[in-house]
Amino acid sequence: MKYYHQRFPAHLGIAAVLSIGEIFALRDSWLTYQMGMVPLYSGLFVLTASGIVLGSAKLTDLYEQKKHLRGTTMLTNKSFVDEVDGDGIAIPNNSAEKRQAKEPPFLEIRQEDENKHFLVCGDTGSGKSSIFHYFATQLQHRDEEIAVFYDPKCEFWKYHGSPERGDILLYPFSDSCPYWDLAAEVTRPEKAKLLAESLLPCTPGEEERFFVKSPRNILEHLLLEMKSQNASVDDLLKWLSSGEQIDEILAGDPVAQYIPKEAPDQRAGVLGSLSNVASHLKLLPPKDGRDSFSLAEMVQKRSGWLFIGAAGVADQQILQPLFSIWFNILIQQLLDFSPEDSPPATWIFIDEIASLKTLSFLEQAASQARSYNTRLVLGFQNKHQIENFYHKLAMPILSAPKTKIFLRTAEIDSAEWCARMIGEPEFEQRVISESSQLVGRRGESLSYRQDRKTEYLVLPAEFLSLGDREGFLQYQGMTTPIQFDYPDLTARNKVKRGKQQFQSKRRALNWI
């Protein structure tokens, strides 16, 4: 079994030579006449051989082409632009090599698909943050839209934050960090339950466990009490530091049965879970006359961008639980709108999403947020990071984004996953079978068939060998290679740790 285009030119060539040889043999008896005809036969032979060679190249091109039947297609950048005819956010494609080839410097998707989310996968240094910076630069020109950034190094605040616009940096160890009005997040009684789930997260599937459900129910009651008294975070910390105060607040309510004094072990376990909440809230700045802030108000007014981050790895690790709490509550507040309200677009940028560990409401946001005009832009290094924290919810989270960008990865499993996500389209190619008899003689049998098979559009090995800021864009069943430069950015703001870091530690000691 061999490809027809590899053998057919040879068949023609041998047959032509044998046929010309037979002509000479038939005229062997007429040698004198034949000697005069040699130049003519030589010319015919040269023309025939030349035709075979030229025809062979065309036949080879014809039979080497695979016909795409279904699945993802690979397009050039120009073809992608023509096919999509986008009017929305643009993916960078402006490297020196692309400019030299006169390729489009930006590849726009359709604006109507922006709320179907974005996924950016690649190793550290592959270009994920660069894409986030390009997106942020474009959003600067969309006055009615807001953006929220997970900013663990405060680099997005440095280049894109605008206090004049009303932007806020939530970095608790900075003197400029506003006071978080937790009571203001309880916009209606039902919200207290969702807030308690955000403040006391758990592994998916463990929601009904006693030492998860019980402290959540108690915390829900305490949050409602905060709302009724317009209490501060410091007030909540005092309640959580004293089992007697909690008993007093819960008196007469069924949830009091979760911490009976007659069952000291059970009581200690539930109160111990509540102490985890206090360990996070104690890091917040106090209500000392500084500006106040609530995510509920921010979502309603949309007067500026929000940056949630820190200025170093140590601070990032300390504040990570608080960051996760804020993002969970933010998602709740955004999904609290009625879809008929047509709220302005909100972009949520979370790079290195695994560093936030588990966001309880991320899967819900991935599946429902588009109805509320919220766009997720999620960055991570490999799928195992997501599977490690989200388990069965990892697949719907990873498959939800419609626009996917795959950059370099050094992990073989992740490279194979990227290749599968881009797709294995089905192709058709003509294949020839031939008999083993001498080519060009009687009795030879040739037949062909159409061979269909699926194969990777982009091989896993290609993801392992990509350079920095180089990869593939997948959108609407189309894939195109991209290559981009680091964005040209101008620093706007500086971030400094303030006295608040030490005040928070003193508050923690006082609470203990």
Three-class DSSP labels, 457-480: CCCHHHHHCCCCCEEEEEECCEEE
Is it the case that residue 16 has pLDDT exceeding 90? no
Range 66-77 average pLDDT:
84
Range 303-329 average pLDDT:
94
Residue in 169, 90, 84 with CA at minimum distance from that of residue 137 = 90
The pLDDT value given to residue 37: 56
Residue 509 binned pLDDT confidence (cut-offs 50, 70, 90)? very low
d(CA 259, CA 266): 7
The pLDDT value given to residue 427: 74
Beta-strand pair 118-121/403-406: parallel
- Token pair recorded at residue 274: 């509540």
The answer to whether the predicted template modeling score (pTM) of the entire model surpasses 0.85 is no
Higher pLDDT, 18 or 403: 403
Phi-psi region of 102 (alpha: psi -120 to 50; beta: other; left: phi over 0): left
On whether the CB atoms of residues 18 and 48 are closer than 8 A, the answer is no
Helix (H) or strand (E) holding 148: strand 146-151
On whether the CB atoms of residues 376 and 149 are closer than 8 A, the answer is no
Range 79-85 average pLDDT:
97
Residue 452 binned pLDDT confidence (cut-offs 50, 70, 90)? confident
Q: Which domains, from first to last, does the chain contain?
A: 64-170+297-436+445-487 (3.40.50.300), 179-290 (1.10.8.80)
Q: Which stretches does DSSP call E strand in 381-498?
A: 403-406, 426-434, 446-454, 470-475, 478-483
Least confident span in 19-28, 247-256, 306-315, 479-488: 19-28
The pLDDT value given to residue 50: 53
DSSP code of 375? E
pLDDT tens, position by position, 102-135: 999 999 999 999 999 999 999 999 999 999 999 9
Residue 15 binned pLDDT confidence (cut-offs 50, 70, 90)? very low
The pLDDT value given to residue 277: 94
On whether the CB atoms of residues 113 and 403 are closer than 8 A, the answer is yes
Q: Which stretches does DSSP call E strand in 21-108?
A: 67-70, 73-74, 90-92, 106-108
The pLDDT value given to residue 21: 47
Residue 27 binned pLDDT confidence (cut-offs 50, 70, 90)? very low
pLDDT tens, position by position, 340-349: 777 889 999 9
Summary mean pLDDT of the chain: 85
The pLDDT value given to residue 142: 94
